[in-house]
Amino acid sequence: MPVEVIMPKVDMDMATGRISKWFFGDGAEVKKGDVLFEIETDKAAMEIDAPASGTLRDISGREGVDIAVGAPVAWIYEAGEAYAGAPAQQPAPAAAEPAKAPEEARPAAAVPAVPPAAADTGGKVRATPLARRLAQEAGIDLSAVGGSGPKGRVTRADVLAWRPPEKPACTAAAPAASPAPAPAGPSDEQVRRLFAEGSYEVVAHSNMRRTIARRLVEAKSTVPHFYLTVDCSIDALLKLRTELNAAAPVADGRPDFKLSVNDMVIRAYAMALRAVPEANVSWTEEGLLKHRHADIGVAVSVPGGLITPIVRSAEIKTLSAISSEMKDLAARAKDGKLKAEEYQGGTGAVSNLGMFGVREFAAIVNPPHATILAVGAGERRPVMVGDEVRGATLMTVTLSTDHRAVDGALGAELIGAFRSYIERPMLMLV
């Protein structure tokens, strides 16, 4: 029997993947472990190895199209194994073709970036009999359900956990009936009509761009935000940073560490979450998840978008450990080589635009986090000390908070704790 090569599930909420590049062509001899192709998931790129040695045949997974998890993309024939045309399992599942017709049919309704769903896999979705029966009874298209089992197999739990992609609340069928209709933006067609033909080019969305769009629309329209802003004096922090970096042990002509202000911000924020554990939480309908560690998601700008790798248990890590971990995570984030577990979860987040000279801004909370800290540039400003004007280096930070989980006074306590660590940075060393 030839060995099936499938679209693997490399990410928890991955329903489809896109092959960005095949490294072998039809008829090529491959060895088990050879990198067969590269996939682009919602958030990262990943190399997929050959599951067996032999001849690669029937490559049906085309580059650049969404393919359902678990769907076959090619077959590997053992040496000497008879090849009699494509195996019975007819693959080639292009998922989620851009839905043109519905758009034109509903000119008034926004068509939001829904997760690539309705995957046409020719009825070859890998699913347990129970999952099939439950999906059929509930009228759920199995190919839209991401499988969590081996090779993307859909199980009962996957079907039960599945929720339909959110429809725009304001559609022709339900005109202004819902109490708080999501603002229906103009259709693609309407937007294009505002510009002269030929005055623009259309850049296709990457998976990452669609994910960012979907998640932020969801966050900003479902999480009730409020914002708290404080100025932190960072003169002592900058001085300590200079001293620490100067004291770094040198091996092979290179210092052991070079701390950035951001490393110290991560540490201070993690320690603040430890000091105010009521704010180190995630909202769920059933109850508040009160976390035992402060796992800090750090927004990293990458080509085509951003990603937030997580520094786990940052409240118990030394500054040098956080620093070297961040360097590694940021470098791999830029190469699209992060593993799913390195950017999923987290109990709070930090976004720093100070290096771009941004004075202050407010970030969008990214569930399951209940808070995110937006960090501006440190700059010399005049401050009043008693009745005198003095110069100080100030950094303005804004805490965005999920009001379902964290109230105003609690948020104030958290940002206060953060400021006290920043302004008395020696506390971060103990």
Partner 1 sequence: MDAAVRELSYSQAIQEAMAIAMEADERVILMGEDIGVYGGAFQVTGDLIDRFGPDRVMDTPISELGGAGVAVGAAVTGLRPIFEFQFSDFAALAMEQIVNQAAKMRYMLGGAVSVPVVMRFPGGSGTGAAAQHSQSLEAWLGHVPGLKVIQPATPHDVKGMLLAAVADPDPVMIFEHKLLYKMKGPVPEGHYTVPIGKAEVRREGRDLTVVATSLMVHKALEAAETLAAEGMDVEVIDLRTIRPMDRETVIESVKKTSRLMCVYEGVKTLGVGAELSAMVAESEAFDYLDAPIVRLGGAETPIPYNPELEKAAVPQVPGIVAAARDLIRGAR
Which amino acids are annotated catalytic?
Answer: 403
Helix (H) or strand (E) run with residue 270 in it: helix 261-275
Binding flag, residue 156, partner 1 (CB under 8 A): yes
Size of the site for partner 1 (CB under 8 A): 12
Closest-CA residue to 208 (of 9, 333, 40) = 40
Count CB atoms within 10 A of the CB of residue 422: 26
Residue 72's φ and ψ, nearest 5 degrees, are -70, 140
Binding flag, residue 160, partner 1 (CB under 8 A): no
- Nearest 10 degrees: CA dihedral of 140, 146, 147, 153? 70
Looking at the Cβ atoms of 136 and 318, the one nearer to partner 1 is 136
Binding flag, residue 312, partner 1 (CB under 8 A): no
Looking at the Cβ atoms of 66 and 158, the one nearer to partner 1 is 158
Looking at the Cβ atoms of 136 and 284, the one nearer to partner 1 is 136
**Residue 149: CB minimum distance to partner 1, A:** 5
- The DSSP letter of residue 171 is B
Q: Contact region for partner 1 (CB under 8 A) — 65-73, 144-152, 181-189, 410-418?
A: 144-152
Residue 328's φ and ψ, nearest 5 degrees, are -65, -45
Q: How far apart are the first and last CA of the chain?
A: 61
Looking at the Cβ atoms of 129 and 253, the one nearer to partner 1 is 129
**Residue 178: CB minimum distance to partner 1, A:** 36
In the set 149, 181, 345, 367, which binds partner 1 (CB under 8 A)?
149
In the set 20, 89, 90, 148, which binds partner 1 (CB under 8 A)?
148
Binding flag, residue 150, partner 1 (CB under 8 A): yes
- Rounded Cα–Cα distance for residues 425 and 177 (Å): 54
Looking at the Cβ atoms of 15 and 264, the one nearer to partner 1 is 15
> Do you know the residue count of the chain?
430
Q: At what angle do helices 408-423 and 261-275 cross, to 10 degrees?
A: 130
- Rounded Cα–Cα distance for residues 273 and 343 (Å): 19
Q: For residue 412, what are its two tokens?
A: 């104030």
Residues 95-134 close enough to bind partner 1 by CB under 8 A: 128-133
Binding flag, residue 206, partner 1 (CB under 8 A): no
Q: Contact region for partner 1 (CB under 8 A) — 94-102, 153-161, 165-173, 238-246?
A: 153-161
**Do the Cβ atoms of 300 and 212 come closer than 8 Å?**
no
Q: Which residues of the shown chain bind partner 1 in the complex (CB under 8 A)? A: 128-133, 148-150, 155-157
